[in-house]
């Protein structure tokens, strides 16, 4: 009887074991085989996130340079990798017929074998400069105000961003979403224009309620906003739309209005400050140094159009309990696949992770073949990760591979672990929630590099061409 029960238990467990193996959830399956899988993208584009032959761990030694991966060193927990789903991105995706769109969204957001598993999106609160037109959620005729926000509505987003987000959430209901405004409604500003100007202090309380209404409105559509920033690029008032918001102004707004409004409305959405370049770490530090603003702040966000990625570590060292976010970096129509691949993987992916960021996002997810849409005065050279033309042809641009080398292999909940930089081999390592080790390497030199990857006293030896990027998994 005991033997029959034991056989029955085994039979019942077999389907579960099969599902685990199929889904890639067999913890350390690759490591137990003594092999590492690898995917490579080369600068000549002959290999784009292409799976290579497995590499075999051994105890043999050699004189090669070595990247030592040390899982005993643990750093930040990762929230995700992804892009901004701009209004223009959503419009480009909605051009596709239903079957094509579903296949693309599965490729982008699922964890299937041929997908890249995007796990984090940034969206604009109102229009960004990659929308067809400028709008807020409470536009009024010139000279009129709406202090009670009676005219608040999600406007054009209901036609593109919201429907696409619903389709994405059906594939990955756990995706993280961050919202960032480019400008408040113009009637709140001191110049009455979508471009530049500052938020008038007399409207701080109304603008805080505007954020509350936005989060509640999105939730009514089943869309949970995990985090917001009070202003995209607050020191760049020359974009359209845009707003100048100095650090002291942002601190006042958060401590006196936005933070208390979130508490009153029982909103759990994180408030993340700054959201601009690495050349001004003093901006987030000014807000974090304010004892009344500090409790409301979850972290600080950065871009890298100016400055050095090490600025994130400067803020982390001052406030190690506050998270760091890397929220935007574009790839441009005037630069090459090679230069963008090398620079962005080195700085945006590897650099942000090695400097404590919990996410890494590139800019627009998609656009058309003319880099449209964009607002009058908006970015006309911003290249999406996808180019979707009028005939529904989809071209995967360099941004797709920059982020894909991380998003496909490093899910939410992964932890960055120790690894050393060896000469030109920039790298970062992670342990996933299922126990796999992931190592992303970029050869920043001008010649091929032969090297070892050492883990738990065993190593593999491999060669990576100049400028190439590889992700190793075991």
The DSSP bridge pattern shows strands 120-125 and 80-84 to be parallel
CA Rg, the chain, in Å? Answer: 23
pLDDT digits (tens, 9 = 90+) for 169-211: 999 999 999 999 999 999 999 999 999 999 999 999 999 999 9
pLDDT for 30: 47
CA 73, chain centre distance (Å): 24
The DSSP bridge pattern shows strands 386-388 and 366-367 to be parallel
Angle at 43 between CA 40 and CA 48, to 5 degrees: 40
80-412 homologous superfamily: Glycosidases (3.20.20.80)
Q: How many whole angstroms separate alpha carbon 252 and alpha carbon 325?
A: 22
pLDDT for 8: 41
382: which strand partners?
332
pLDDT for 32: 54
pLDDT digits (tens, 9 = 90+) for 90-124: 999 999 999 999 999 999 999 999 999 999 999 99
The DSSP bridge pattern shows strands 323-328 and 297-307 to be parallel
pLDDT digits (tens, 9 = 90+) for 437-458: 999 999 999 999 999 999 999 9
Q: How many whole angstroms separate alpha carbon 235 and alpha carbon 251?
A: 14
Q: How many whole angstroms separate alpha carbon 106 and alpha carbon 117?
A: 9
Q: How many whole angstroms separate alpha carbon 90 and alpha carbon 86?
A: 6
pLDDT for 110: 98
User: pTM here?
Assistant: 0.93
pLDDT for 29: 44
Average pLDDT over residues 139-168: 98
- Inter-residue contact 439 to 471 (CB < 8 Å): yes
Percent of all residues in the chain with a pLDDT value above 90, rounded to a whole number: 93
Q: Is the peptide bond before 249 cis (omega within 30 degrees of 0)?
A: no
Q: How many whole angstroms separate alpha carbon 302 and alpha carbon 402?
A: 18
12: pLDDT strictly greater than 70: no
In the block, which residue shows the tokens 């536009």? 139
pLDDT for 371: 95
Reduced 3-state DSSP string for 416-450: EEEECCECCEEEEEEECCCCCEEEEEEECCCCCEE
pLDDT digits (tens, 9 = 90+) for 50-86: 999 999 999 999 999 999 999 999 999 999 999 999 9
- Inter-residue contact 356 to 318 (CB < 8 Å): no
CATH of domain 35-74+419-473: 2.60.40.1180
pLDDT digits (tens, 9 = 90+) for 333-383: 999 999 999 999 999 999 999 999 999 999 999 999 999 999 999 999 999
Average pLDDT over residues 398-413: 98
Higher pLDDT pick, 94 / 29: 94
Identify the band that residue 255 occupies on the pLDDT scale cut at 50, 70 and 90: very high
Percent of all residues in the chain with a pLDDT value above 70, rounded to a whole number: 93
pLDDT for 85: 98
In the block, which residue shows the tokens 């600068």? 43
Q: Write the Ramachandran bin of 325: left for phi over 0, alpha for psi from -120 to 50, otherwise beta.
A: beta
pLDDT for 261: 98
Q: So where are the chain's domains?
A: 35-74+419-473, 80-412
- Inter-residue contact 168 to 118 (CB < 8 Å): no
Which whole-number Å values give the CA distances from 231 to 127, 184, 211, in the listed order? 12, 9, 11
Instruction: Please count the other Cβ atoms lying within 10 Å of the Cβ belonging to residue 158.
Output: 12
Nearest to 271 by CA among 329, 217, 226: 226
Nearest to 277 by CA among 317, 233, 240: 233
pLDDT for 11: 42
pLDDT for 16: 39
DSSP letter assigned to residue 257: I
Average pLDDT over residues 22-33: 44
pLDDT for 376: 95
Average pLDDT over residues 253-264: 98
pLDDT digits (tens, 9 = 90+) for 288-337: 999 999 999 999 999 999 999 999 999 999 999 999 999 999 999 999 99
DSSP sequence for 69-120:
EEEEEEEEEP-EEEEE--HHHHHHHHTS-HHHHHHHHHHHHS-STT-----E
Which whole-number Å values give the CA distances from 235 to 66, 86, 309, 352, in the listed order? 42, 21, 18, 21
- Inter-residue contact 153 to 137 (CB < 8 Å): yes
Q: How many whole angstroms separate alpha carbon 179 and alpha carbon 327?
A: 10
Instruction: Please count the other Cβ atoms lying within 10 Å of the Cβ belonging to residue 32.
Output: 10
User: Which of 18-22, 46-50, 59-63 has the lowest average pLDDT?
Assistant: 18-22
Q: How many whole angstroms separate alpha carbon 271 and alpha carbon 54?
A: 43
Judged on CB neighbours under 10 Å (0-12, 13-18, 19+), 70 is middle
18: pLDDT strictly greater than 60: no
* Strand segments (E) across 217-286: 227-228, 270-278
């Amino acid at each position: 009887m005991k033997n029959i029960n034991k056989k029955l238990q085994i039979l019942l467990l077999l389907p579960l074991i099969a599902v685990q193996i199929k889904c890639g959830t067999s913890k350390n399956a690759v490591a137990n085989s003594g092999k590492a899988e690898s995917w490579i993208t080369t600068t000549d584009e002959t290999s784009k996130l292409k799976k290579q032959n497995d590499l075999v761990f051994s105890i043999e030694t050699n004189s090669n340079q070595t990247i030592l991966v040390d899982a005993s060193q643990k750093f930040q927990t990762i929230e995700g990798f992804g892009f901004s789903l701009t209004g223009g991105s959503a419009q480009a995706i909605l051009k596709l017929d239903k079957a094509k769109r579903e296949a693309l969204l599965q490729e982008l957001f699922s964890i299937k074998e041929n997908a890249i598993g995007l796990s984090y999106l940034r969206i604009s609160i109102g229009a960004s400069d990659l929308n067809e037109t400028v709008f807020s959620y409470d536009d009024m005729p010139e000279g009129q105000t709406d202090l009670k926000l009676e005219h608040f509505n999600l406007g054009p987003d209901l036609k593109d961003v919201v429907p696409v987000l619903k389709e994405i959430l059906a594939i990955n209901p756990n995706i993280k979403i961050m919202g960032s405004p480019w400008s408040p409604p113009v009637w709140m500003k001191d110049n009455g224009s979508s471009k530049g100007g500052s938020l008038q202090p007399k409207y701080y309380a109304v603008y805080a309620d505007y954020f509350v209404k936005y989060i509640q409105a999105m939730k009514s559509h089943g869309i949970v906003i995990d985090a917001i920033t009070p202003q995209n690029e607050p020191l760049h008032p020359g974009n359209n739309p845009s707003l100048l918001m100095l650090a002291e102004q942002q601190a006042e707004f958060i401590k006196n209005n936005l933070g208390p409004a979130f508490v009153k409305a029982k909103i759990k959405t994180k408030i993340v400050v700054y959201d601009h370049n690495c050349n001004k770490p003093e901006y987030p530090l000014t807000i974090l140094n304010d004892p009344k603003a500090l409790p409301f702040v979850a972290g600080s966000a950065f871009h890298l159009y100016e400055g050095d990625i090490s600025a994130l570590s400067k803020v982390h060292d001052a406030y190690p309990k506050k998270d760091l976010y890397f929220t935007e970096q574009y790839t441009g129509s005037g630069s090459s696949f090679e230069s963008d691949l090398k620079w962005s993987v080195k700085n945006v992916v590897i650099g942000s992770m090695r400097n404590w960021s919990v996410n890494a996002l590139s800019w627009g997810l998609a656009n058309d073949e003319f880099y449209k849409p964009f607002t009058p005065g908006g970015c006309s050279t911003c290249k999406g990760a996808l180019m979707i033309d009028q005939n529904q042809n989809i071209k995967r641009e360099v941004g797709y591979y920059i982020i894909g080398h991380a998003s496909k292999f490093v899910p939410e909940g992964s932890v960055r672990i120790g690894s050393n930089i060896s000469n030109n081999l920039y790298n970062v390592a992670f342990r996933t929630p299922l126990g796999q080790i992931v190592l992303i390497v970029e050869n920043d030199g001008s010649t091929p590099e032969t090297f070892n990857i050492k883990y738990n006293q065993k190593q593999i030896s491999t060669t990576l061409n100049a400028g190439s990027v590889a992700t190793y998994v075991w």
